[in-house]
Structure 1
Amino acid sequence: MAVTTEVSSPLQLRAVVKTFARGKDAVHALDGVDLEITAGKVTGLLGPDGAGKTTLMRLAAGLLRPSSGSVTVLGQDLGRGAGSLQQAIGYMPQHFGLYEDLSVQENLDLYSDLQDLDPKAARHRQQELLELTALGPFGRRRAGDLSGGMKQKLGLACALLRAPQLLLLDEPTVGVDPIARRELWQIVDALRRQGTTVLMSTSYFDEAERCDEILLLNAGKILQQGPLPHFTAPLRGRCFLVRHRGLRRRLLRETLQDRAGVLDARITAAGVRVLSGEGQPSAQPGEEWQAVEPAFEDAFVALLGRVQEGGATNASKTPEQGAVKPAEKAIGRADGGDTAVVEVHDLRKCFGSFEAVKQCSFTVRRGEIFGLLGANGAGKTTTFRMLCGLLPASSGSLKVAGVDMRRATSAARGRIGYVAQKFALYGNLSVDQNLAFFAAAYGLRGGHRRMAIANAREEFQLAAYGAVNADDLPLGIKQRLALACALLHEPPILFLDEPTSGVDPLARREFWQRINALAAQGVTILITTHFMDEAEYCDRLVLMSLGEILAQGSPAQLRQQARTAEQPEPTMEEAFIRLIEEHERVIRRAS
């Protein structure tokens, strides 16, 4: 069990500056940071890409030294006694280095040896951690065969082998489904009860609200620090829920976002949530306005500024002025609004004796935003890869843009844009070189190619990064570049496989404004996501579990299927967890 440190604060930074060289320039990742975190509490660290969150984490872990200023951990200056502190610090970076060819138990044994733990004490601690993380039944399973959430839990177990007083978690819930995220938080809550001090960076607003304190970082400086009410209290009287019976939520959001006095409008299960600059903006006929309590997300937007339409600098721009506009000939506007552009029937995919996708059927209409939800390992990415012609189906039929993807994949690829789950561009090429390569790969030539690249640089605000290698870009800019490359040939169908995983909240909003504008122009969009607030932006959804579709319909219809007497109005996350856990219980009983 961890013991709370006796010093006033387990982590203190005083006037910390951390500078990195970028070519001839010096970049201040942290710029005069002063902070203290409270012993035995969970402090949430949030901020946009490039804010300095990971740099702060690495300084606290003793992996970096400040350019100036001091870092004190558990009462000791890291500049003098970092080596002796390592036993009291647990650190889990964004990409924890598991050995995928080793089993769960072998990974724990290896990290115990690396930390020079006594074998008897190590075995006892490992059993505690296997119980805490619920990985006990999987001790012999290869780490590479674990789901994303289980890998994160194993990485956390390895970081906890020495029962640290200070635990540093750098976005531990990135890329994991809501069930795994809930399980990781159960572990964090158990550590909090034991007295462990936790500093945890996250991209989830609901996770920030679960923390005892929140630290908001931007451009290397602290904007605010304190408990949740410290952020939300100033916004009382400025937050509203708006409904309109005659307008779909997406159109209502677009209408509200451009209204005078509105700082932010976002889709929720109940309607459109509005953050105003001061008081209630003017309501239009048919709108119902209801005052609601402010949330941390409102404070985040208020402090960091309004997200402009399509990333534009002029807040008054219309969607047509500020968003990417595929050519009408590519969209095929002559088609009817109910035209099916993706048709899947009894789709199956087997890898040896393992059936990854089991007789899935669904249809996607032109101009829809269609979401695929599911736990890690549900079969979403496998389904995507078959639809894009990157993986052959074992059986069933699938048509994309009228083309049979089992027989003529090359004919359909020219009408498809694809953003992979992991950044799949060329990291050792610059932004401009990536754009030029993909333009050529899509067959663009001459003036058409030059115009497409110029438009992408402008619309996605990439000009300032033209000479920067893709590997050196912040996550939000990488995501912009990936989407820009996927849209160079103006495809009428866009496949997005967890495109916002690990991207900061403001970049996610900018991304969704682009996606909404594309859908309004007739582009058909299929997307997978683990962010349940993003699922609310979809017109229709399918929910997958263990390779099967167990529910499909609008977001409201999926939430309706999960209603119970105890939860008459479930959120999308609550519906996700309930439907999948019930399905998996049935499967286990049947087997």
Structure 2
Amino acid sequence: MTGEEKETGGAQRDVMKDGIIEARGLRKVFAGKHGTAVALEALDLTVPRGQITALVGPDGAGKTTFMRLVCGLMKPTAGRLQVADLDVTRRPQQVQDVLSYMPQRFGLYEDLTVLENMELYARLHGVPEDLREQRFRHLLAMTELAAFTGRLAGRLSGGMKQKLGLACTLVRAPKLLLLDEPTVGVDPLSRRELWVILEQMVKEEHLSVLVSTAYMEEAARCRSVFVLNHGRILASGTPDDLSDLAAGCCYRAVPPRGMAMRTLQDKLLDEDAVLDAVPAAGGVRFTTRGRPEELLILRELGLTAQPLVPRLEDGFMMLLKDDEARQAASAGEENVVMPPAENEPAAPPAPAQDAGSAMDAGAPVEIEVRDLVKKFGDFTAVSHTSFDVRRGEVFGLLGPNGAGKTTTFRMLCGLLPATSGRLRVAGVDLRTARTQARANIGYVAQKFSLYGSLSVYENLRFFGGAYGLCGRQLRRRIAAVMEEFHLRGQQDTRADHLPGGYKQRLAMAAALIHEPQILFLDEPTSGIDPLARRAFWQQITHLAARGTTIIITTHFMEEAEYCDRFMIQDHGKLLVLGSPAEIRRRLGRQDDAMDDIFVAIVEQGRGGEHHE
């Protein structure tokens, strides 16, 4: 070996020592009966030591595949992958001994207590007994679970379960921590607490963390970010580096009085020059490489656009849109900008009527709730709650984990009887005619409640039959919803083989097949990337414009901006009810992010005390 070769080899080894994860030319191909699918293509990346690094990308980008390769749970098709200077392919067990992995569905044992779960994972990881007490004490204090060690895991709130999962993952003090969307389905307060814990662990133990997340505000807290799409790295750098990709392209427009923010968003997204648009801080934030004064909708409405400082999500969306445009061009598909089958569809069909205004205050009341109470034994889950929802309104039901919103939601759907109070849905008293009320309701559960072994067409036929449709009417509605939700070409695909975005579309189609007056959506965008959420909300905007009443629960507080009104519950009590603008005015926080407003309302309701 020449001196130059030795110097080069030494430099490469030094680079390897700088990164806790090193991938070079990494490729992963899955073989199936319909051919092969490339999950990762020639991936080159270095994850730095001693810091938190984010991996972001749309559904199906390859994020989970990469993490499973890093864990040694599967082998790469080609390329080189090292973790903590160990070759993963040759030494998977040694790699697994130095890292901890918290997948999306971390396996807590719900019939064991908090402490018993930690003991179990300590034994599984071979943590010596003499080290456990000190480690447990540290983790319990950090996660604020010390007062709950005797509580069964199944009786914890969602936020507490996530913190227990993290504590179990960290019982052995790993060198590397892998987190695959750790805060999906967790409220903003619990998410912030989880991130404080992570940042403290990195500082105290020099822990290296790689986190996959659908929340761009979480990725913005990381030191470095990798953007993945279709198995390729589109860009990497600090959050500021990626934000700067959208510099000079970000603006805000405020809709005229009487127009919902989601309606202005929808109209902006119809403009060819607009790359992205999303309701935020009382207006619509949008990105365009053109001049905003040239946008037709702004000229028609006489609106001015205020320049904004770019954020990470702006750069992320521009990267995705540009990549999809390149792929469409290389495939010879002109004018196609939205992602292909693995992601979300292009904009949905135009609404049957103009969506130019927010919910009509004179519209009939579809849901009437008066003094609603639900008790489980001595525990009061919902305490004397009252509100109305009008036809065509998009109404948000929000709150921290364990707040009582799911219980309220299930009572509204007729899935759970109330203890007391009055509850009318679509003109029907749910206490006396629950079955009749359900005929007017469509319901999309958080996990979509599809039959995985049935095809798309078979699922639609089953749900249509369950709602009383048959013959020509059923065939007509199946054809209509398949067209509306872009399911043609997938009718013979089994539901459990569909990507996440397609499962969401199928669940929506099944819930709407009988043309209900009211649609209930239980965290329908949980774990779905920003690109998919934009397309989903365009569908909701068009449904509301046609007169469908929408009730939605969500942990993405930015989605409260899409609602005509929303309510926030905590410990079963209603804390606030109103439109986004009304609630901002009440708090005097017109320009704050909805996450901050949510946290302020909950903390004020709790009297400044922290408790689960």
Distance in 1 (alpha carbons) for counterparts of 2:176 and 2:485? 40
Q: CA deviation at 1:247?
A: 5.1
Change (3 A) 1:274 1:326: closer
Query: Please, which of 275, 281, 287 is the counterpart of residue 269 of structure 1?
Result: 281
Q: Name the SS of the counterpart of 2:220 in structure 1.
A: helix
Query: Please, which of 566, 582, 601 is the counterpart of residue 557 of structure 1?
Result: 582
Q: Which stretch shows the higher mean deviation, 245-254 or 425-434?
A: 245-254
CA displacement, residues 530-567 of structure 1 (integer Å, 9 cap, x when unaligned): 1011000000011100011111011122233444xxx6
Q: Which stretch shows the higher mean deviation, 68-77 or 272-281?
A: 272-281
The TM-score normalised by the length of structure 1 is: 0.92
Query: Please, which of 585, 588, 600 is the counterpart of residue 578 of structure 1?
Result: 600
Distance in 2 (alpha carbons) for counterparts of 1:435 and 1:60? 39
Letter in 2 for 1:262: V
1:165-314 matched pairs, under 5 angstroms:
165-194=175-204, 195-246=206-257, 248=259, 249-282=261-294, 283-284=298-299, 286-305=302-321
Distance in 2 (alpha carbons) for counterparts of 1:120 and 1:320? 58
CA displacement, residues 277-308 of structure 1 (integer Å, 9 cap, x when unaligned): 33434141531211111112112221112899
1:82 paired to 2:92: yes
Q: Name the SS of the counterpart of 1:581 in structure 2.
A: helix
Letter in 1 for 2:282: A
Change (3 A) 1:522 1:443: same
Q: Name the SS of the counterpart of 1:7 in structure 2.
A: helix
Distance in 2 (alpha carbons) for counterparts of 1:446 and 1:336? 39
CA displacement, residues 157-212 of structure 1 (integer Å, 9 cap, x when unaligned): 11111111111000001000001000011011112223211100000111111111
Distance in 2 (alpha carbons) for counterparts of 1:168 and 1:586? 33
1:384 paired to 2:409: yes
Percent of residue pairs bearing the same amino acid type: 49
Q: Name the SS of the counterpart of 1:161 in structure 2.
A: coil
CA displacement, residues 242-300 of structure 1 (integer Å, 9 cap, x when unaligned): 12444522332233222342222211113111110334341415312111111121122
Q: Which stretch shows the higher mean deviation, 293-302 or 96-105?
A: 293-302
Change (3 A) 1:75 1:583: same
Letter in 2 for 1:201: S
CA displacement, residues 2-28 of structure 1 (integer Å, 9 cap, x when unaligned): xxx992211011111112233232111
Distance in 1 (alpha carbons) for counterparts of 2:280 and 2:57? 22
Q: Which stretch shows the higher mean deviation, 536-545 or 116-125?
A: 116-125
Q: Is the 8 A contact 1:45 1:214 kept in 2?
A: yes
Change (3 A) 1:586 1:208: closer
Q: Is the 8 A contact 1:253 1:266 kept in 2?
A: yes
Q: Which residue of 2 aligns with 1:448?
A: 473
Distance in 1 (alpha carbons) for counterparts of 2:279 and 2:591? 16
CA displacement, residues 331-378 of structure 1 (integer Å, 9 cap, x when unaligned): xxxx98421110000111111111111111000011110001100111
Structure 1 residue runs without a partner (length 5+): 328-334
Q: Which residue of 1 aligns with 2:54?
A: 44
Change (3 A) 1:587 1:55: closer
1:427-576 matched pairs, under 5 angstroms:
427-563=452-588, 569-576=591-598
Q: Which residue of 2 aligns with 1:330?
A: none
Query: Please, which of 144, 148, 155 is the counterpart of residue 154 of structure 2?
Result: 144
Q: Which residue of 2 aligns with 1:109?
A: 119
CA displacement, residues 57-96 of structure 1 (integer Å, 9 cap, x when unaligned): 1111121111211210011101122212323211100000
The TM-score normalised by the length of structure 2 is: 0.89
Distance in 2 (alpha carbons) for counterparts of 1:152 and 1:464? 38
Query: Please, which of 286, 306, 322 is the counterpart of residue 348 of structure 2?
Result: 322
- Number of corresponding residues: 570
Letter in 2 for 1:296: L
Q: Name the SS of the counterpart of 1:62 in structure 2.
A: coil
Q: Name the SS of the counterpart of 1:360 in structure 2.
A: strand
Change (3 A) 1:587 1:354: farther
Distance in 1 (alpha carbons) for counterparts of 2:246 and 2:232? 22
Q: Is the 8 A contact 2:281 2:593 kept in 1?
A: yes
Say what the alpha-carbon RMSD is for the aligned residues. 2.5
Distance in 2 (alpha carbons) for counterparts of 1:485 and 1:417? 8
Q: Which residue of 1 aligns with 2:135?
A: 125
Letter in 2 for 1:288: T
Distance in 1 (alpha carbons) for counterparts of 2:336 and 2:57? 23
Q: Which residue of 1 aligns with 2:33?
A: 23
Q: Name the SS of the counterpart of 2:18 in structure 1.
A: coil
Q: Which residue of 1 aligns with 2:74?
A: 64
Change (3 A) 1:588 1:180: closer
Query: Please, which of 384, 387, 394 is the counterpart of residue 369 of structure 1?
Result: 394
Distance in 2 (alpha carbons) for counterparts of 1:109 and 1:266? 45
Letter in 1 for 2:184: V
Q: Which residue of 2 aligns with 1:55?
A: 65
Distance in 2 (alpha carbons) for counterparts of 1:532 and 1:8? 37
Structure 2 residue runs without a partner (length 5+): 1-14, 326-334, 339-344, 354-359
Q: Name the SS of the counterpart of 2:454 in structure 1.
A: coil
Letter in 2 for 1:362: F
Q: Which runs of 4+ in 1 moved over 6 A?
A: 313-316, 324-327, 586-589
Query: Please, which of 10, 22, 27 is the counterpart of residue 12 of structure 1?
Result: 22
Q: Which stretch shows the higher mean deviation, 81-90 or 153-162?
A: 81-90
Distance in 2 (alpha carbons) for counterparts of 1:172 and 1:27? 26
Q: Which residue of 1 aligns with 2:374?
A: 349
Distance in 2 (alpha carbons) for counterparts of 1:183 and 1:152? 10
Q: Is the 8 A contact 1:326 1:490 kept in 2?
A: no
